């Protein structure tokens, strides 16, 4: 899903009110198909206070198959841009190969139910009933096609002659995405401006040095896989330990992966850091790894992510550090080789949440309940990560979770989610150095909501925000190569090799400075170095200071704690299961 596609409805209309609404309806149809290719019937109808507008499925089907517009579609097409019509055909033709079991298992999970609750109020049956059950059955039946699911195949399975789109809600959703696009553009410009100001004020880095941090170090290392079993939690863990061959104990870094990933996803980063003298433990979290997704799709698990993962993940890291301390004292090959007085943490996505929790961020259930209200779902339609964050509300105890591990001296969180589950109150508890990495085209954890606003809340004196313009949620498309589901093209990183090189340089400078205590590397943690490192087509910006006042005054942006994408009197969404 490309956020910028949501801009189109604003410019699509010409002429009078009737033509404007007709153009808006077709553009909104394209938007809805983009968001979730799962609608269908004989006709798709949009109703509003000015009347009802509809288009036949047969017209869309013919256009998808042949590229030719019949009279009905031609009437609507004259009111939208040609590239929007081309995009609509791509959406109608887009095919995803997933089995019926895979689709059913996801749609019956907590995340799937929450998604259908929202979509069911947007997409209704001919009788105006919520489309929750109709969507679920249509998706599952369409998945039986061996060629894969398309929007039109789901249309043929939808148990109603007409799909009725809740136009009011649809326009609000479009508006939410439109606001996010606009704010992302403006905030990106603000970050770029602030980065330039800070670069001018800082001492320049020797221009012959910037590429050095991207190159492998000279330290030899070897890898070994460690297997542990936490008897208290009945939880088995694996970690790949990259152990450098040094005459003195090595500082320790822990890497935590995201949902559906595993301990191998950042192997190249772990090897890079090990070659520069760090002992790197890349940990795998059962309950939110690739095996968990496979188990879900095979019918042997019920959830995409087990709710307890919000607590278990940080505890996994603390348990790993306990075991590493034990091994460094007793194991012949590891004795005296780990410096557990110098420990840092790196995490991506859910792993970024894990790192922030270990750094001292406190769960904020009051904030999360506000963000996850059923009648508030359309406000957060542009933030996919809330589907996951809201699962934390199912935790049995909302008062006594203390997840901080004071051995963690610094954290680097790559595209984490944090706005709902921590909020400003929770993130302000962090006192250790923090680096947040954001991507302007991240559709999973949107940069403005999940990294830039949270950065402004941090109270640590040593904090860094790095923004990759045009960066997406993933760093490397190979992360998903062996998964049981395909990675959508819109989520794939356009320049993975460059993004990985950036990550190696930034993480090395940060870890050397705040974990290893080699303060000479601090000079690389400034905007002038990042400017020297940056290259098209993935511009890179770093800032050390960005306040909520700047965001508010410069861009009129109210961050999530102030309901930044709200509007009054939202229609309630039925809580169906």
Q: pLDDT-derived band of residue 418, with 50, 70 and 90 as boundaries?
A: very high
Residue 483 clears pLDDT 70, i.e. is over it: no
Cβ(418)–Cβ(434) under 8 Å? no
**Over residues 489-503, mean pLDDT:** 80
- Phi/psi of residue 306, nearest 5 degrees: -70, 135
Predicted confidence (pLDDT) per residue in 143-158, tens digit: 888 888 888 888 778 8
Least confident window among 291-305, 438-452, 495-509: 291-305
Mean pLDDT calculated for residue range 71-85? 83
CA–CA–CA angle 160, 165, 171 (5° rounding): 170
E strand segments, 110-182? 123-124, 162-165
- Give me the percent of the chain exceeding a pLDDT of 70: 82
pLDDT at residue 7 is higher than 70:
no
pLDDT tens profile 195-239: 999 988 877 666 445 458 999 999 999 999 999 999 999 999 999
Q: What's the rounded mean pLDDT across residues 541-568?
A: 70
Residue 10: pLDDT over 70: no
Distances in Å between the Cα of 206 and the Cα atoms of 1, 210, 480 are: 41, 8, 38
Which ranges of 331-385 does DSSP label H, i.e. alpha helix?
350-359, 365-371
Average pLDDT of 362-378? 81
Q: Work out the pLDDT band at 425, boundaries 50, 70, 90.
A: very high
- The whole-chain average pLDDT of the chain stands at 84
Cα distance between residue 427 and residue 256, in whole Å: 19
Domain range list for the chain: 3-165, 203-562
DSSP 3-state of 409: strand
Of 51-55, 205-209, 443-447, highest mean pLDDT = 443-447
Mean pLDDT score, 502-525? 96
Of 565, 479, 23, residue with least CA distance to 266: 479
Task: Give the CATH class of 203-562.
Answer: alpha beta
Task: Tell me the C-alpha to C-alpha distance, in Å, between residue 45 and each of 22, 124, 128, 207.
Answer: 11, 10, 11, 60
**H or E segment to which residue 571 belongs:** none
C-alpha to C-alpha distance for 283 and 317, rounded to whole angstroms: 8
Confidence class for position 35, pLDDT limits 50, 70, 90: very low
Q: What is the pLDDT of residues 101-131, one digit of tens each?
A: 888 989 999 989 988 988 888 889 988 888 9
Alpha-carbon distance values, 218 to 54, 228, 278 (Å): 66, 31, 12
The pTM assigned to this predicted structure is 0.84
CB 420 within 8 A of CB 453: no
Which helix H or strand E contains 10, and what residues bound it? helix 8-11
CA-based end-to-end distance of the chain: 26
pLDDT 10s digits, 308-355: 999 999 999 999 999 999 999 988 889 999 999 999 999 999 999 999
């Amino acid at each position: 899903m490309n956020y910028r596609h949501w801009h189109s409805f604003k410019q699509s209309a010409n002429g009078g009110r009737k033509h404007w609404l007709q153009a808006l309806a077709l553009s909104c149809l394209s938007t809805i198909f983009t968001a979730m290719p799962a609608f269908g019937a004989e006709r798709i109808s949009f109703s509003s206070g000015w009347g009802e507008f509809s288009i036949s499925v047969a017209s869309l089907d013919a256009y998808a198959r042949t590229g030719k517009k019949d009279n009905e579609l031609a009437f609507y097409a004259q009111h939208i841009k040609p590239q929007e019509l081309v995009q609509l055909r791509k959406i109608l033709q887009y095919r995803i190969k997933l089995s019926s079991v895979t689709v059913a298992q996801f749609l019956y999970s907590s995340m799937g139910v929450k998604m259908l609750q929202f979509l069911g109020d947007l997409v209704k049956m001919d009788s105006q009933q919520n489309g929750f059950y109709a969507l679920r059955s249509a998706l599952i039946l369409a998945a039986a096609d061996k060629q894969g699911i398309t929007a039109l195949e789901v249309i043929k399975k939808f148990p109603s002659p007409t799909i009725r789109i809740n136009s009011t809600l649809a326009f609000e959703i479009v508006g939410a995405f439109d606001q996010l696009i606009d704010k992302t553009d403006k905030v990106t410009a603000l970050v770029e401006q602030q980065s330039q100001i800070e670069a001018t004020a800082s001492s320049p880095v020797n221009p012959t040095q910037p590429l050095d941090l991207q190159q492998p170090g000279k330290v030899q290392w070897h890898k070994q896989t460690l297997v542990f079993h936490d008897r208290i939690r009945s939880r088995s863990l694996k970690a790949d330990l990259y152990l450098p061959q040094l005459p003195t104990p090595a500082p320790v870094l822990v890497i935590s992966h995201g949902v559906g990933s595993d301990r191998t996803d950042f192997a190249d980063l772990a090897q890079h850091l090990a070659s520069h003298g760090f002992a790197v433990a890349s940990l795998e979290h059962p309950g939110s790894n690739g095996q968990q997704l496979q188990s879900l799709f095979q019918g042997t698990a019920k959830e995409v992510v087990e709710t307890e993962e919000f607590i278990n993940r940080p505890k996994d890291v603390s348990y790993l550090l306990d075991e590493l301390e034990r091994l460094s004292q007793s194991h012949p090959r590891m004795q005296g080789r780990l410096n557990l007085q110098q420990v840092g943490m790196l995490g991506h996505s859910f792993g970024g949440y894990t790192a922030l929790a270990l750094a001292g961020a406190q769960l904020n259930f009051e904030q999360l309940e506000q963000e996850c209200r059923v009648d508030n779902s359309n406000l957060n339609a542009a933030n996919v990560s809330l589907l996951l964050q809201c699962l934390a509300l199912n935790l049995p105890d909302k008062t006594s979770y203390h997840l901080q591990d004071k051995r963690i001296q610094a954290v680097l969180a790559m595209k984490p989610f944090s706005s709902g589950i921590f909020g400003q109150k929770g993130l302000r508890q962090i006192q250790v150095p923090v680096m947040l990495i954001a991507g302007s085209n991240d559709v999973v954890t949107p940069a403005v909501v999940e990294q830039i606003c949270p950065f402004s809340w941090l109270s640590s004196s040593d904090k860094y925000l790095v923004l990759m313009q045009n960066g997406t949620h993933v760093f490397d498309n190979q992360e998903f190569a062996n998964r049981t589901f395909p990675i959508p093209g819109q989520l794939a990183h356009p320049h993975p090799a460059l993004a990985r090189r950036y990550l190696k340089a930034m993480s090395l400078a940060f870890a050397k400075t705040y974990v290893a205590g080699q303060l000479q590397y601090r000079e690389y943690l400034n905007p002038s170095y990042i400017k020297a490192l940056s290259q098209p087509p993935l511009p890179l910006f770093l800032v050390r200071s960005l306040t909520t006042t700047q965001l508010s005054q410069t861009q009129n942006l109210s961050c999530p704690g102030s309901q930044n994408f709200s509007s009054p009197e939202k229609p309630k969404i039925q809580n169906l299961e």
